[in-house]
Structure 1
Amino acid sequence: GLLSDVGPGDRLSMGDGRVILEILDHDGESLTARVAHGGVLNGRPGLHIPSDRLSMRAPTADDLLAVERFVELDVDMIALSFVRSAEDLARLPVDPHPAGPIIVAKIETQAAIDDLPAIIEASGAVMVARGDLGSECSIEELPILQKEIIRQCIALGRPAITATQMLETMVTNPEPTRAEVSDVANAVWDGSSALMLSGETAIGVDPVNVVATMSRIAERADQAFDHRAWMSELSEMRMADTDDPNTSITDAMTQATARAVDALGIGTILCISGSGFTIRSMARFRPSARILGLSANERTVRQLTLSWGTEPLHLPEQGDIALRVAAALEAARDRGDVAVGELVGVLAGTDVRSRSTNVLRIERVPAR
């Protein structure tokens, strides 16, 4: 526990660095600390202990009990804090998504940075948890780590969530600082799939205003996004997984789709997928075209809300490729997402059991 993990001379932070405690004495039953830097703490702020000193491992026994209950409640996503290795994720008693929830690995320890590729591979999504991560590493390294974590998530087709202190001053203020506005926009341009608020909505004076403010900033950043430059940059990355031919095919097909829709000026891509992998792979290219993510699996549809730019849609049809493409076109047309005669891209597998995306069609939306 805490008494055995820290000792005299250690400095502990509370509330993501708002308060710094210096441990002065340890008598075996208690710790004596001096407030080296004081401040105001609200809510239930965490106490950060360097991960290499922390004896407790994630997931804890309480975590495992909570996960069992979450699974019973059919939740769609579960985030695990203080992940140190891919083995931590493997200990969770859940089925791989979409049969089970998406597991979001929170990257907030130095050990997680050291095992980052394996953690991303083992997770369904990743959160850049900048609060504790900023306490684990030197503060000047944090922006570099944020970009690198997101870059590796993109390469492996995992959604990346950027979190902590995005609009921190709006806990008490009606407007963010100009630096915070730039931080939110830059997180979008870095390639974040989602942005997350924490204290701003948990203990903030006007959480609705905070959410609306972040939404406006993110939408405007998306409008100014350089889609062609992004696609060119991603094409230079080695994203194809040559160890898994199914994944490699999907990687190649989504890259081809991104180029095709750009060259033809197509405004909408219909991605048909059972697990959502195809759709997430497509979303990482940030195409200027809309992405309609269609799946027969209703849990997949809900989980796709985490993927950038994706508008999830349930598609009951599970027949062969021709039937699924026809059903997708009709569903998008009937919802008003596409117009009759419009040229659209369709990305799918040859059948519902296909483990790879191997069909790209350019189709015109049929009349009713």
Structure 2
Amino acid sequence: MTRRTKIVATIGPATESPEALERAILAGANVVRLNLSHGHVDEHIEALARVRAVAERLDLPIGVLADLPGPKVRSGQFPDGGVELTAGTFVHLRPGEGASDNGTIWVEYETLLDDIDIGDRVLIGDGSICMRVENMTSTYAEAIIETGGRTQGRPGVHLPSERLSLTTPTAEDLVLAEKMVAAGVEFLAVSFVRHADDVAKVRQVVGTQVGLVAKIETASAIANLGGILQVSDAIMVARGDLGIDCPLEDVPHLQKSIIRQCVEYGTPVITATQVLESMITAPSPTRAEVTDIANAVFDGTDALMLSGETAVGHDPALTIETMGKIAERAEAEASYRQWAARLGRIQRQRWDSLHDRITAAVTHAASEAAVDIGATAILCCTNTGRTARAMARFRPEMELVALSPHQRTVNSLSLSWGVGPFKVDDFGSEMVSVAVATALEHGLVQPGDNALVLAGTGDRDSTTSANAMRVVTVR
């Protein structure tokens, strides 16, 4: 493959038909996201079936990510046409259900008055409307509007996350998780994660058959990122809510820090929110969006995610193609060899278990050996995908190929940077020859090329992973 950074595309009305899905996948989408915050679960299961049918017809590995809603605090309904909330005016925030206006905003959260205090910021919708609590009574909180604007419908209400009594996952999340795993998705995204236990609760329900993506969108998640990384299969930098819960000026620095830690752990990371927002309606992106994508690639993100751009945008395929071109151009400037050398030093300091040290040692050796012998490709034979993901963190310049007899593993590797996944028959005793023959068949290597073959053994809970490396000259 040419582009190494993967693209996650959210499907919605603009991409729900088989024809639109096909155009999106051919344009370069690697993973399809189902946003469970909208629509009924049966509609998402039907959408999953359409994705599978299109991917099978195109013979392309496509992962599917189901994004759980998580706890969402909403306001009471504003009048039709909306209302203007004017900066400098006061508004009462009341817990319960009722009709909101520019004097009283009902918040459908019964412990509202217990969970906020004087001085707290409360934001409406995407955070463009901001107010600060000035006074508390037994029935309402009085807040001054600092940044005004027009609002309508039932927008979300953002409260300080560290004191919310709402928990993640919700009971609804767990029900949806079970249904989507039974339907066959590769990933579940857990919203508003604050602690490792939030991810562990979902794991207890769905087991190890699906990858869990922790969405980092709260200050608490930033503080507990190390523990969250230990229990997650992937991370999403959810910049929308992260920019509400944390100072907006901190978001670029938090993004870089999260991505760096994910790469060090060998955990795939997705950069999300407003990546190509202007292309929901416009035929080309802003210069700032182009720079944002390039910087995310330079940071080392595994994947970039499109939300409304492909769910309701006017030309999802064009948006995906545009993102692909920008990412590919940025990759040409990235210094991945220095990256790999730096990771080699870090892993000796941070990887403690025998399981981790074996994986780290073999993949580190492979990253250096591939350069020394001028390898055309690194071929990872894997049952669970762990070998390929561990290799991907070194960002090798040559082809990185994953071969597995399990379709779920193949699909799940569509999220990992640079990995070209292929399904093969059972390896048997001919693992190396099967790997080389498959790479040759797909034009990834040619006779006379040198290739490295890595073999991974065991499952998720095994004490070994990538534990064998062989150099092969293709015949």
Q: What's the TM-score, normalizing by structure 1?
A: 0.90
Equivalent pair of 1:305/1:311 in contact (CA under 8 Å): yes
* 207, 230, 240: which one aligns with 2:339: 230
| Structure 1 position 124 matched with structure 2 position 233 | yes
Greater shift, 329-338 or 213-222, is seen at 329-338
Q: Work out whether 1:148 is the aligned partner of 2:148.
A: no
Partner of 2:448: 341
Q: Residue 360 in 1 paired to residue 458 in 2?
A: no
Could you report, residue by residue, the CA deviation over 1:28-58 in whole angstroms, capped at 9, with x for unpaired residues? 6677766543446699864322211321110
Could you tell me how far 1:306 is from its partner in structure 2?
A: 0.5
Kindly indicate whether the alpha-carbon contact (under 8 Å) linking 1:156 and 1:239 is maintained by their aligned counterparts in 2.
Answer: no
Quick one: distance in 2 between partners of 1:76 and 1:300? 8
What is aligned with 2:60?
A: none
Offset at 1:222? 1.4
Judging changes above 3 Å, is the alpha-carbon distance between structure 1 residues 173 and 146 closer, same or farther for their aligned structure 2 residues?
same
Q: For residue 298 of structure 2, what is the aligned residue in structure 1?
A: 189
Query: What residue in structure 2 maps to residue 94 of structure 1?
Result: 206
Q: What is the alpha-carbon distance in structure 1 between the residues aligned to residue 367 and residue 158 of structure 2?
A: 43
Alignment partner, residue 78 of structure 1: 188
CA distance in 2, matches of 1:70, 1:169: 31
Q: 1:171·1:205 contact (CA, 8 Å) conserved in 2?
A: yes
**Alpha carbons 1:241, 1:247 under 8 Å: kept:** no
Cα–Cα, structure 1 residues 82 and 74, in superposed 2: closer, same or farther, change >3 Å?
same
SS at 1:20's partner residue? strand
Equivalent residues of 2:427, 2:434 under 8 A apart: no
- Per-residue displacement from partner, 1:321-365 (whole Å, max 9, x unpaired)? xx1111111122122222223211111136888822121111022
Rounded to whole Å, the distance in 2 between the matches of 1:75 and 1:165 is 25
Distance 1:174 1:284, change over 3 A: same
2: CA distance between counterparts of 1:30 and 1:66? 34
Contact 2:354/2:463 (8 A) holds in 1: no
User: Mean alpha-carbon deviation: is it higher for 172-181 or for 76-85?
Assistant: 172-181
Matched residue type, 2:158: H
In structure 2, relative to structure 1, the CA distance for the partners of 1:241 and 1:360 (3 Å cut) is farther
Match of 1:273 in 2: 382
Say if 1:64 and 1:150 are closer, same or farther in 2 by CA, change over 3 A.
Answer: same
SS of residue paired to 1:294: strand
Indicate the larger mover: 27-36 or 14-23.
27-36
The letter of the residue matching 1:12 is V
- The 1-side partners of 2:458 and 2:206 are apart by 26
Give the 5 Å matches for 1:287-326: 287-320=396-429, 323-326=430-433
1:177 aligned to 2:289?
no
Partner of 1:19: 129
Question: What pairs up with 1:1-16 in 2 under 5 angstroms?
Answer: 1=109, 3-4=112-113, 5-6=115-116, 10-16=120-126
- Say whether 1:56 aligns with 2:166: yes
1:255 match: 364
Structure-1 residue corresponding to 2:177: 67
Using the size of structure 2 for normalisation, the TM-score is 0.70
Highest RCO, 1 vs 2 (Cα 8 Å, sep ≥ 6): 2
For the 8 Å contact 1:18–1:41, the answer to whether it is kept is: no
Shift of residue 17, structure 1, vs aligned partner: 2.3
Say which is worse superposed, 7-16 or 27-36, in terms of deviation. Answer: 27-36
Task: Supply the distance in 2 between the matched residues of 1:237 and 1:44 (Cα, whole angstroms).
Answer: 47
Q: From the superposition, tell whether residues 86 and 252 of structure 1 become closer, same or farther in structure 2 (CA, over 3 Å).
A: same
How many Å separate the matches in 1 of 2:152 and 2:345? Answer: 46
Q: Which moved more, 1:282-291 or 1:160-169?
A: 160-169
Matching residue's letter, 2:266: G
The RMSD of aligned alpha carbons is 2.5
C-alpha deviation, 1:301, in angstroms: 0.6
Supply the distance in 1 between the matched residues of 2:388 and 2:139 (Cα, whole angstroms): 54
Q: Distance in 2 between matches of 1:102 and 1:269?
A: 24
- The structure-2 alpha-carbon separation of the partners of 1:41 and 1:329, relative to structure 1 and needing over 3 Å to count, comes to farther
Does the aligned pair in 2 maintain the 1:80–1:103 contact within 8 Å?
yes
Shift of 1:223: 2.1
Aligned residue pairs, count? 361
1:265 Cα deviation from its structure 2 partner: 1.7
SS of 2:318's equivalent in the other structure is helix
- Do the aligned partners of residues 311 and 46 (structure 1) sit closer, same or farther apart at CA in structure 2, a change above 3 Å counting? farther
What is the distance in 2 between the residues matched to 1:317 and 1:355? 20
Q: Does structure 2 retain, via aligned residues, the 8 Å contact 1:274–1:300?
A: yes
- Show the counterpart of 1:200: 309
Deviation at 1:200, TM superposition (A): 2.6
For 2:347, what is the secondary structure of its paired residue? coil
Change (3 A) 1:74 1:49: same
SS at match of 1:91: helix
CA–CA distance in structure 2, aligned partners of residues 73 and 17 of structure 1:
35
Residues 161 and 190 of structure 1: CA distance in aligned 2, closer, same or farther (over 3 Å): same
Call closer, same or farther: CA 1:89–1:239 in 2, change over 3 Å: farther
CA deviations over 1:66-94 (Å, ceiling 9, x no partner): 10111110110000010011111111111
Query: In 2, distance between residues paired with 1:82 and 1:341?
Result: 51
The range that moved more, 335-344 or 271-280, is 335-344
Deviations along 1:241-294, one digit per CA (max 9) or x if unpaired, are 653212211111111111111122212110111111110011111111011111
